[in-house]
Chains A and B, each alone.
Chain A
Amino acid sequence: NAGVTQTPKFQVLKTGQSMTLQCAQDMNHEYMSWYRQDPGMGLRLIHYSVGAGITDQGEVPNGYNVSRSTTEDFPLRLLSAAPSQTSVYFCASTLGGATDTQYFGPGTRLTVL
């Protein structure tokens, strides 16, 4: 299994540009999540999905969109990038409920100029 994969690893955008961060998992996990990691703030949940076709907002959803058309893929879209979205983004998946381990991707480091 490849586990959780994320692309790209690094990205530089100009303010106002759009892009999609890709996330895929091959473990047949129902739950997938996107986090952003900023210094001194741990990881904050952006959006999550409890299965194909079902998504919901996390703690910091503004400026981001998600969709879940398949179990495997959970892309994160930035429609109009802002410098405040400079961060490291992690995708994670888990099989089921609260006691299950989350598996994290390697992260995408995004810089918005």
Chain B
Amino acid sequence: AQSVTQLDSHVSVSEGTPVLLRCNYSSSYSPSLFWYVQHPNKGLQLLLKYTSAATLVKGINGFEAEFKKSETSFHLTKPSAHMSDAAEYFCVVRREFTGYSSASKIIFGSGTRLSIRP
């Protein structure tokens, strides 16, 4: 079975300080892991993805995430927050579609709302 847990529902940081959004997953198989960002009243946009290549994944807008199998974590980081980073962030775990199997799911975390203080 798969699951994903975003450990913080809300994170607030000052502009120019580091960002850490935490995500833990469980998966019976080697997962693919994604981070998506959703700005207010917008659809979801891919930030980055892990697909069993390099464990440190670089994404758009200066974000990166590190896959740590031993800790079953895929935390999202950014060295210096910008006001435009204020949004909701979703960690996603996914395995291969297998046709009619109900296990062929994409599981979204419950989301972390990132606020940036001036």
Closest chain B residue to A105 by CB distance?
B43
Taking a contact as CB atoms under 8 Å apart, the answer to whether A98 and B43 are in contact is no
Taking a contact as CB atoms under 8 Å apart, the answer to whether B97 and A90 are in contact is no
Query: Which single member of B36, B49, B102 contacts A56 (CB below 8 Å)?
Result: B102
* Contact status of A56 and B43, CB under 8 A, knowing A42-B90, A42-B109: no
Residues of B within 8 A of A40 (CB): 9, 110-111
Residues of A within 8 A of B102 (CB): 56-57
Within 8 A of A (CB), among B1-57: 9, 31-32, 34, 36, 42-46, 49, 51
Taking a contact as CB atoms under 8 Å apart, the answer to whether A98 and B95 are in contact is yes
Return the CB mask of A86-113 against B: 1 if under 8 Å, else 0: 0000101000011101101111000000
Within 8 A of B (CB), among A58-112: 58-59, 90, 92, 97-99, 101-102, 104-107
Taking a contact as CB atoms under 8 Å apart, the answer to whether A99 and B51 are in contact is yes
A54 to chain B, nearest CB (A): 8
23 A-B residue pairs with Cβ-Cβ distance under 8 Å, sorted by A, are A31-B97, A33-B106, A40-B110, A42-B109, A42-B110, A45-B105, A45-B106, A48-B104, A54-B99, A56-B104, A58-B105, A90-B44, A92-B44, A97-B96, A98-B32, A99-B49, A99-B51, A101-B34, A102-B44, A104-B36, A106-B42, A106-B43, A107-B43
Taking a contact as CB atoms under 8 Å apart, the answer to whether B90 and A56 are in contact is no
CA distance A41 to B111 in the complex (A): 7
B94 on the interface (CB 8 Å rule)? yes
